[in-house]
């Protein structure tokens, strides 16, 4: 793995427990690549930005997403609270979460950000 700043390493380490030791080696490359990829976050784009697009083990990165045993829901839980802490600046501020697949602004919100966390729809 490339030399990453200590803050990024510490942020990524919280996700390490979600994966087996073997799968974590592949997953952390995908995590860093997703952060660095400038456009579409496909596995091809991620490997390209990480300098691994010519690799011979391309399928192993796909296996992290479709075969490895890990919980996207648990990963979402780990990501949600640090995001709230990062974007809520005062104790009296509220966070409004809107689930939408459209690029529409919500007129009742003062600031609108698209944040990468998974939701589970429940009736």
Whether 88 and 43 map to the same domain: the answer is no
pLDDT at 108: 56
Whether 60 and 75 map to the same domain: the answer is no
Domain that holds residue 41: 6-66
The last residue of a domain, from among 26, 46, 66: 66
Whether 92 and 105 map to the same domain: the answer is yes
**Which portions of the chain are predicted below pLDDT 70?**
1-2, 95-123
The last residue of a domain, from among 66, 90, 107: 66
| C-alpha Rg value of the chain to the nearest Å | 17
Total of domains in the chain: 2
pTM passes above 0.75: no
Phi-psi label, residue 73: left if phi above 0, alpha if psi -120 to 50, beta otherwise: alpha
pLDDT at 101: 53
Report the Cα–Cα distance between both ends of the chain, in Å, rounded: 42
**Residues near 48 by beta carbon (within 8 Å), at least 6 away in sequence:** 37
What's the rounded Cα separation, in Å, for the pair 58 and 86?
A: 34
Helix (H) or strand (E) holding 45: helix 43-49
Q: Which two tokens stand for residue 69?
A: 């045993």
């Amino acid at each position: 793995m490339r030399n990453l700043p200590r803050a990024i390493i510490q942020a990524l380490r919280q996700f390490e427990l979600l994966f087996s030791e073997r799968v974590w080696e592949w997953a952390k490359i995908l995590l860093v690549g997703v952060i660095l990829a400038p456009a579409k976050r496909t596995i091809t784009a991620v490997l390209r930005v990480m300098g691994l697009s010519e690799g011979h083990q391309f399928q192993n990165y796909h296996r992290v997403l479709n075969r490895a045993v890990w919980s996207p829901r648990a990963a979402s839980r780990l990501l949600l609270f640090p995001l709230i802490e990062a974007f809520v600046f005062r104790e009296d501020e509220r966070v409004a979460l809107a689930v939408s697949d459209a690029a529409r602004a919500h007129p009742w919100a003062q600031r609108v950000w698209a944040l990468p966390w998974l939701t589970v729809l429940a009736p």
